[in-house]
């Protein structure tokens, strides 16, 4: 099963993407901040990472 990491500061975006991708059979992890993202990337094998590039809180 492929793993996807969704990184966004807006909960609604993370939630919608997670619901949609869960239904497609992907294993989903989410993060809100850069430090949390690094931590998840170190501990999990992630095949795809989605990040909103211009997140104002980074």
pTM attached to this predicted model: 0.79
The Cα–Cα gap between 57 and 49 comes to 18
For the stretch 13-42, pLDDT in tens is 999 999 999 999 999 999 998 899 889 999
Residue 56 reports pLDDT greater than 80 = no
For the chain, how many structural domains are there in total?
Answer: 1
Residue 45 in any domain: the answer is: yes
The Cα–Cα gap between 34 and 21 comes to 22
Residue range of the domain that includes 28: 3-51
Residue 57 in any domain: the answer is: no
Confidence of residue 55 (pLDDT cuts 50, 70, 90): low
At 50 the three-state DSSP class reads strand
Residue 52 reports pLDDT greater than 60 = yes
pLDDT of amino acid 51: 66
The Cα–Cα gap between 58 and 46 comes to 21
CATH number of residue 8's parent domain: 3.40.50.2300
């Amino acid at each position: 099963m492929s793993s996807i990491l969704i990184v966004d500061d807006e909960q609604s975006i993370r939630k919608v993407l997670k619901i949609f991708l869960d239904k497609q059979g992907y294993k989903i992890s989410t993060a809100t901040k850069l430090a949390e993202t690094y931590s998840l990337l170190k501990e999990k094998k992630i095949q795809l990472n989605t990040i909103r590039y211009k997140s104002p809180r980074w």
